[in-house]
Homo-oligomer: A and B are copies of this chain.
Amino acid sequence: MRRHLITGGAGFIGANLVRALRARGDAVLVVDDLSRGRREHLAESTGPEVQLIVADASETDSLRRAVGDARIDEVWHLAANSDIPAGVADLRVDLRHTFLTTAATLEVMRDVGAKVLHFASTSAVYGDFGERVASEDSGPLEPISNYGAMKLASEAQIRAACESFVERANVFRFANVVGVPATHGVILDFVRKLKASPGVLEVLGDGTQKKPYLHVGELVEAMLFVADRAQGRFNVVNIGPEDDGITVREIAEIVVGAFAPEAEIRYGREPRGWVGDVPRFRYALERLRALGWRSEASSHSAIQLAVREIGQQEGWTTCRP
């Protein structure tokens, strides 16, 4: 039985990954500080093969104690700040939660002899590529958010560790990921705003921002697919849908259409929603396809599915099924 350590494993993506690994019959040790993660997120994955230890993965000593003497075959490092604007306002947020968690994870891996690492990185490492298509070998990487910068910093440290104690590392650069349990993100934000004031939806930015979205179910499938097949010692792989994405305007219309068809949508004036927001983004997916994986859902259907799921999570029934 393979044993996995998942940092941030009680969060949005982590909870889905835990379920998928349990379905394979693997054992999972989750370390999560429950700042955004929730114990309930793991409710479907109970049993002696799933263990949750509440600890701060940015502190090497805490993480080391949490891991204890458990044998660890693979590490999935997901712990990170997921509130990008918060990280722009306070430099320490991403430094600590997005980067120092990586530094601590690597140090603990060296300590306990864990050799295989999977890392949740992001398209934010590319920065604003404009109309250029971002491939894994593209340069220069110019992240415009502290979140993207600290993910890039993490990638760099993982790359260097592959020269010594890490024997295999997969770096997944995610598109925007949607689904449940939602802890943050544009859909949850819209649903909550609309629930608070059903007559109007205020949108940050002018709604023209267009980005690719993947459903978390497909994301987890893709990560496991790559983890089973990638051959190199250090692999960087974009994971996203096959299309160019969907605009914030369309997302707003889907949410309003689902829950409050009479509501007025009000847009801001700026093409960016906030400092560090990239208005458009185009992914190269050749590497992922060459390994043999393609997403089935479009950004549009991923959003539609997630809107229904998140509505349900928030106690709303959709107007239209």
Contact = CB atoms under 8 A, between A and B. Distances in A.
Copies in the complex: 2
Where chain A touches its partner, the secondary structure class is helix
A164 B107 contact: no
Interface in A99-113: 99, 103, 106-107, 110
A222 interface: no
A86 interface: no
Interface in A147-165: 148-150, 152-153, 156-157, 159-161, 163-164
A103 B127 contact: no
Interface in A206-229: none
Interface string A156-179: 110111011000000000000000
A306 interface: no
A200 interface: no
Contact of A148 (B125, B138, B160, B161): B160
B236 A140 contact: yes
A139 B163 CA distance: 19
A139 to B, nearest CB: 2
Contacts of A136: 140
Nearest to A163: B144
A153 B99 contact: yes
A144 B159 contact: yes
B139 A156 contact: no
A265 interface: no
A95 B91 contact: no
A160 B106 contact: no
Nearest to A234: B142
A107 B91 CA distance: 7
Most B CB within 10 A of own CB, among A99, A125, A143, A159: A159
Interface in A29-63: none
A146 to B, nearest CB: 5
A194 interface: no
Contacts of A8: none
Contact of A143 (B138, B139, B160): B160
Per CB-CB distance, the 3 closest pairs between chain A and chain B, nearest first, are A139-B139, A153-B153, A149-B160
11 contacts: A91-B161, A139-B139, A142-B159, A142-B234, A146-B157, A146-B160, A149-B160, A153-B156, A153-B157, A156-B156, A163-B276
Given A148-B156, A149-B156, 13 more contacts: A99-B153, A125-B156, A127-B159, A140-B236, A143-B156, A143-B159, A146-B161, A148-B160, A150-B157, A152-B156, A153-B153, A153-B157, A163-B276
